[in-house]
């Protein structure tokens, strides 16, 4: 049974009450992310700046603060037609000057009608904000931001990097970019493996990082000092790159930062034939002799109608996240949890953190402990009824929240810890044991609207504190009573980008940020710019995370 948006759970990432930054950022992208309809325009009237990349020359703008902005730079050939479900390739030469003054098209997400303004299958574009250093020998650090969206949508598209660059004194470059998601990024099955490539959404990200190695020096960046950073599925992607090819170091980055890293079920490709078969049925390719040829010849509108979600086999409710990376024996040689536990990861400094209430924007309004377990089984179908007693013991009914069902608070904690908080802690422990410099944090800065809605400090609420409150129109408290936390957090992250250490260039008077260490020491960002230090295992989280760590492989994390 195919599930359309009308059948999605009430609290899916499209329809969540209160302040849901994923939805708001999609709206923000619709305001500012439309591609230009003319080729040689200068809508801003700002001074122009040109960069020659060899395959094309791009004309961008110099912003009032001196930052050079290049939007919609093609980093790969269009992934259309016969290039669907294949690894991205280098851009083709184009002798004409290319305007880089408006954002390029966004990759199609799940559940969006076709055609949609601002979206296109031809969507592999990058945006760059670079200090006006005047030449290509500056060798500034490079901050590569990987957006999230559950591998089903691009939730933070066209976030502007100007604030991050200029508030740090123009000491680095900032890049964000699009990659394929949903059906177009993560279709899997034996036919795809035989005549195409698996995990092409992650391969798009690798292509961007390879593009950076070749071309970023032309913007004044140092290809030997690249930091990868992501939020949510973008942070999960950071983890994927750390463990890619069994931890092989391709020298694409020297440090990694992650906010609310996302660890969904990531099955073996052999377990995803049902997914491939469902798409064949939906688009009419089931009887085709060459099924991949049929899919590649199918119209975009037909494919987009199939770009949706369904329940996992044996379940009746669709999961929040249906399209995810898979274990393919190459890019991902095993479950990420296994790779990190066995030391198969790239040894670089890392900074990972989570928000206090990661699960609150995803949890259903469940009434009983049995309903709670059923919800978790919908997300992780290889959990089973034998885990019911343990889950009931670890996540008993908590104090009620106004306007929420009795077991909503318990499920919020369970899903948040299972999918975000505990896997991140396990990764940090593995890195710390390897002697890589490792920093962790918990974000506990309250917002009155979120608290009133019973969401606590929800998933990715820390994003505007890292990249600037101008990122999202709903981050009002960061301009008022939460304003003190912004320069504090921004400066720690900017310091990591510059020095691979959040302390080197931290804000004046800010305390030193201790490393994770053997005891799981992490900082806690609180309201009004306050900071504390805690052990990540405090308040029973150690016992709960030990359970999720034991079943991570069962959950295909």
CATH at 364: 3.40.50.1820
> What does the pLDDT read at residue 22?
40
Residue 557 lies in a domain: no
DSSP-assigned letter for residue 369: H
> What does the pLDDT read at residue 125?
99
Token look-up 């500056």 returns: 138
Residue 414 lies in a domain: yes
Cα 489 from Cα 506, distance rounded (Å): 9
C-alpha to C-alpha distances, 114 to 151, 241, 276, 307, nearest whole angstrom: 19, 32, 21, 11
* Cα dihedral 77, 79, 84, 88 sign: positive
C-alpha to C-alpha distances, 325 to 237, 293, 348, nearest whole angstrom: 9, 22, 23
> What does the pLDDT read at residue 475?
79
Cα 227 from Cα 229, distance rounded (Å): 6
C-alpha to C-alpha distances, 245 to 229, 248, 345, 400, 555, nearest whole angstrom: 19, 5, 9, 45, 21
Residue 556 lies in a domain: no
Residue 535 lies in a domain: yes
For the residues of 478-496, what is the DSSP string, one character each?
Answer: GGTTTTTHHHHHHHHHHHH
Which stretch of DSSP H or E encloses residue 306?
helix 300-306
> What does the pLDDT read at residue 3?
38
From 309, 305, 250, select the one nearest 275 (Cα to Cα).
Answer: 309
| pLDDT tens-place values along the chain, 557 residues long | 343 333 334 333 333 333 343 433 433 333 333 333 333 456 678 999 999 999 999 999 999 999 999 999 999 999 999 999 999 999 999 989 999 999 999 999 999 999 999 999 999 999 999 999 866 678 999 999 999 999 999 998 888 999 999 999 999 999 999 999 999 999 999 999 999 999 999 999 999 999 999 999 999 999 999 999 999 999 999 999 999 999 999 999 999 999 999 999 999 999 999 999 999 999 999 999 999 999 999 999 999 999 999 999 999 999 999 999 999 999 999 999 999 999 999 999 999 999 999 999 999 999 999 999 999 999 999 998 789 899 999 999 999 999 999 999 999 999 999 999 999 999 999 999 999 999 999 999 999 999 999 999 999 999 999 999 987 666 799 999 999 999 999 999 999 999 999 999 999 999 999 999 999 999 999 999 999 999 999 999 999 999 999 999 999 99
Residue 475 lies in a domain: yes
DSSP E strands, 220-295? 221-231, 255-259
Task: Give strand pairing partners of 444.
Answer: 526
Task: Give strand pairing partners of 57.
Answer: 52, 97
Cα 304 from Cα 182, distance rounded (Å): 10
> What does the pLDDT read at residue 2?
40
* Cα dihedral 38, 39, 41, 44 sign: positive
Token couple for 291:
């099924």
What does DSSP say about strands 140-146 and 173-177: parallel, antiparallel, or unpaired? parallel
> What does the pLDDT read at residue 39?
39
State the Rg of the chain over Cα: 22
Residue 273 · residue 191 · CB < 8 Å: no
C-alpha to C-alpha distances, 383 to 86, 273, 321, nearest whole angstrom: 33, 20, 16
Q: Which amino acids are annotated catalytic?
A: 232
Token look-up 């009983």 returns: 368
C-alpha to C-alpha distances, 31 to 27, 180, 439, 449, 477, nearest whole angstrom: 7, 21, 36, 24, 22
* Cα dihedral 343, 345, 350, 355 sign: negative
Domain count, the chain: 1
Q: Indicate the pTM of the whole model.
A: 0.93
Cα 273 from Cα 394, distance rounded (Å): 34
Domain of residue 137 covers 5-551
SS3 content of the chain, % helix, strand, coil (to 5): 35, 15, 50
């Amino acid at each position: 049974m195919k599930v359309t948006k009308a059948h999605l759970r009430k609290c899916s990432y499209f329809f969540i009450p209160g302040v849901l930054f994923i939805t708001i950022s999609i709206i923000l992208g619709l305001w500012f992310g439309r591609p230009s309809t003319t080729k040689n325009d200068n809508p801003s009237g700002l001074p122009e700046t040109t960069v020659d990349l060899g395959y094309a020359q791009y004309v961008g703008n110099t912003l009032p603060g001196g930052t050079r902005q290049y939007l919609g730079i093609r980093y790969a050939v269009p992934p259309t037609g016969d290039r669907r479900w294949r690894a991205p390739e280098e851009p083709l030469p184009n002798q004409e000057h290319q305007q880089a003054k408006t954002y390029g098209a966004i990759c199609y997400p799940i559940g969006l009608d076709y055609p949609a303004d601002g979206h296109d299958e031809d969507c592999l574009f990058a945006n760059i904000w670079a200090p006006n250093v005047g030449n290509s020998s500056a060798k500034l650090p490079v901050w590569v931001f990987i957006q999230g969206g559950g591998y089903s949508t691009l939730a933070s598209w066209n976030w502007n990097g100007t604030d991050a660059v200029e508030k740090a004194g123009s000491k680095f470059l900032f890049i964000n970019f699009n990659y394929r998601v949903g059906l177009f990024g993560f279709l899997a099955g034996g036919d795809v493996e035989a005549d195409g490539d698996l995990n092409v959404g992650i391969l798009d990200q690798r292509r961007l990082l390879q593009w950076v190695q070749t071309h970023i020096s032309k913007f004044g960046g140092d290809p030997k000092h690249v930091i990868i950073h992501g939020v949510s599925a973008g942070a999960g992607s950071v983890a994927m790159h750390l463990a890619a090819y069994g931890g092989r170091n391709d020298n694409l980055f020297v440090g990694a930062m992650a906010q609310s890293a996302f660890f969904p079920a990531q099955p073996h490709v052999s377990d995803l034939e049902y997914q491939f078969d469902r798409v064949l049925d939906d688009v009419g390719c089931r009887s085709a002799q060459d099924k991949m040829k049929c899919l590649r010849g199918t119209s975009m509108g037909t494919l987009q109608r199939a770009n949706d979600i369904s329940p996992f086999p044996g379940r009746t409710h669709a999961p929040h996240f249906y399209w995810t990376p898979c274990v393919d024996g190459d890019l991902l040689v095993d479950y990420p949890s296994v790779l990190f536990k066995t030391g198969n990861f790239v040894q670089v400094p890392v900074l990972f953190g989570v928000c206090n209430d990661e699960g609150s924007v995803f949890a259903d309004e469940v009434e009983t402990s049995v309903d709670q377990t059923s919800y978790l089984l919908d997300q992780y179908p290889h959990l089973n009824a034998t885990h019911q007693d343990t889950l009931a013991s670890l996540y008993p009914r908590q104090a009620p929240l106004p306007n929420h069902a009795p077991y909503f608070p318990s499920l919020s904690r369970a899903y948040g810890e299972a999918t975000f908080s505990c896997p991140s802690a396990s990764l940090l422990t593995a890195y710390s044991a390897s002697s890589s410099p490792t920093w962790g944090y918990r974000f506990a800065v309250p917002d009155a609207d979120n608290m009133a809605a019973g969401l606590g400090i929800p998933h990715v609420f820390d994003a505007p504190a890292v990249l600037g409150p101008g990122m999202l129109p709903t981050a009002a408290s960061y301009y008022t009573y939460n304003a003190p936390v912004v320069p504090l957090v921004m400066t720690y992250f900017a310091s990591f980008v510059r020095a691979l250490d959040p302390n080197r260039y931290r804000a004046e008077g800010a305390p030193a940020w201790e490393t994770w260490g053997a005891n799981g020491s992490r900082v806690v960002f609180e309201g009004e710019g306050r900071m504390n230090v805690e052990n990540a295992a405090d308040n029973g989280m150690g016992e709960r995370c030990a359970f999720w760590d034991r079943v991570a492989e069962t959950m295909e994390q």
